[in-house]
Chains A and B, each alone.
Chain A
C-alpha cells in the first residue's frame, strides 16, 4: 500500500459505486424499453419505484465525493476522478429519470398499435443502450478510444431519430393525437439518453486527459 493507501481505497470505492449505479441505470433503461412491448403494469410500477434507489445512489456518490474534496484535497488525476464522479452520477441519474418518463409515456399509449414506430424506437434504444454500456466500460478501463467511439454511435441515433420523427407526420388518421404525442416523447427520451451517454464519454476523456472534448 502506498503513502496514501486509505485515500486510494476511497477513490477506488467511489469509482466502484459509480459503476454499480451505471449498471442500475442501464438495467432501468433496458426494462423501460421492454415494457413498451409487454405493457406489464406491475413491472411498470416497480420500475418507477426503483428510481428512488438510483436517486439515492447519486446522493451517496455526491456526499462521498464532497467529503473527499473537504478532507483529502485531491489534485490532478485524483481531483478529476472526484469531479467526474459527481458529473457522471448526475448524468446517470437523469438517464434514470428518462427511463421513468418512457414508462409513464408508455402507460398512456394504446396497446398493440403502431408496431412500426415502436420497432423504430427499439432500434434507437438498442444503440443508446450499447452507448451506455460502452461508456461504463470505458469509465472502468479509463479507455479514451472507447469513449470517442460513442460519439459516432450518437450520430446514428440522431439520424434514426430524425427519420422517426418525420415518419410520425405520415401516420394515418387512425392514430390519435395523444398516441402520436407519446410516441414522439418516447423517441425524444431515447435520443436524450444517447446524448447523456455522449456526455459520459466526454467526462471519461476529461478524467484521463484533463482536456475537454466536445463529442456532441
Chain B
C-alpha cells in the first residue's frame, strides 16, 4: 500500500493552516548559477542562493559535497587554487565579485573568515587584533586600544584576556583562540562572517560559547557557517542549505528543514541515515 505521506496531492491544501511569517530582508549575497571546477572535477553545480543579511545561514552536507568550496568562493579564496574555474555570478551587495574591476582586498575586508582550526598569528593577543587595522593605516595607539577592546568584547573574550593582552596568543585555550580569531575579523569592521566548521576542533563548552556568540553577532553581521554538526545548524541558524554532490538539494528556513523538509535526501541526511 502506498504511504499516505507520498500522496500529499489529495490533501486539500487550502485547509492547511499556513504560518508564514516571512520578513522582507535584504540579501547580502545573491548567488547566480554558480559552477566551479577543480580541473576536470565539478565541485559546485548551478548553485543559486539568496543569503539574507543579519541572519545565520548554515551550510550542511556530507564530506565532499562542496560546502567548504562554496563558502570559500564567497570571498574568492578558491581562486588561490590554480586549477579552479568558475562560471556564473556571486553578487555581494549587488556587485559581482568575479568582475575584473572588483577589488578582492575590499571583499576580504568586508567578508571575514574563521576556519576549523584556530589560527592566531604567533604574536600577542593585542597584536593579533591590531594586525588588520594597522594594514589599513590606523596608527593612533588610542584608536587601536579601542579597537582591541571592542573587538574582544564583540567576541566575548575581553573579560578573560584583558589583563594579559601582551601575552602570546598561543597561550590561550582552543576555544579562546577561536574567539580571538573572530575578534581579529571584527577588528576590520566586516559586514559578513564566513565560518568553516568553527567549532569542530573545540570541546563542548567552547562550542556552546561560540554558538552563543554567533547569536549575538548576527545582530550586526551576516553569518554563513559550514557545519558538520546538524544539531548545531538546528540550534543557531535561521536558514539552512543542504548540499549534496555540489548541488543545493534544499534551501529553506532552518525550522522547515528540521521539521518537514521537502526532499527525502535532506530528511535522510539530517536524521542521520546517510552521510
A contacts, CB < 8 Å to B:
2-4, 7, 73-80, 138, 141-148, 205, 208-214
Interface string of B2-36 (1 = CB under 8 A from A): 01110110110001110000000000000000000
5 A-B pairs (CB sep. < 8 Å): A3-B272, A76-B258, A142-B4, A145-B7, A209-B260
User: From residue A101, how far is it (CB to closest CB) to chain B in Å?
Assistant: 31
In the assembled complex, B44 has its CB within 8 A of some CB on chain A: no
Count, chain B residues at interface, CB 8 A = 25
Contact yes or no, B271 A78, CB < 8 A: yes
Give every chain A residue within 8 A of B3 (Cβ-Cβ).
141-142, 208
Main SS of chain A's interface residues? Answer: helix
Contact yes or no, A4 B271, CB < 8 A: yes
B contacts, CB < 8 Å to A:
1, 3-5, 7-8, 10-11, 15-17, 230-231, 234, 258-261, 266-267, 270-274
Contact yes or no, A209 B267, CB < 8 A: no
With both beta carbons as reference points, the residue of chain A lying nearest to B231 in the complex is identified as A73
Give the tally of cross-chain contacts (CB within 8 A): 78
Give every chain B residue within 8 A of A78 (Cβ-Cβ).
271
Give every chain B residue within 8 A of A211 (Cβ-Cβ).
11, 16-17, 260
Contact yes or no, B267 A76, CB < 8 A: yes
Distance between Cα atoms of A142 and B267 in the complex (Å) = 17
Give every chain B residue within 8 A of A212 (Cβ-Cβ).
16-17
Contact yes or no, A213 B15, CB < 8 A: yes
Among A3, A144, A208, the residue within 8 A (CB) of B273 is A3
Distance between Cα atoms of A205 and B12 in the complex (Å) = 12
Contact yes or no, B271 A77, CB < 8 A: yes
Distance between Cα atoms of A143 and B3 in the complex (Å) = 6
Contact yes or no, B274 A80, CB < 8 A: no
Contact yes or no, B272 A210, CB < 8 A: no
Distance between Cα atoms of A208 and B8 in the complex (Å) = 9
Distance between Cα atoms of A3 and B266 in the complex (Å) = 15
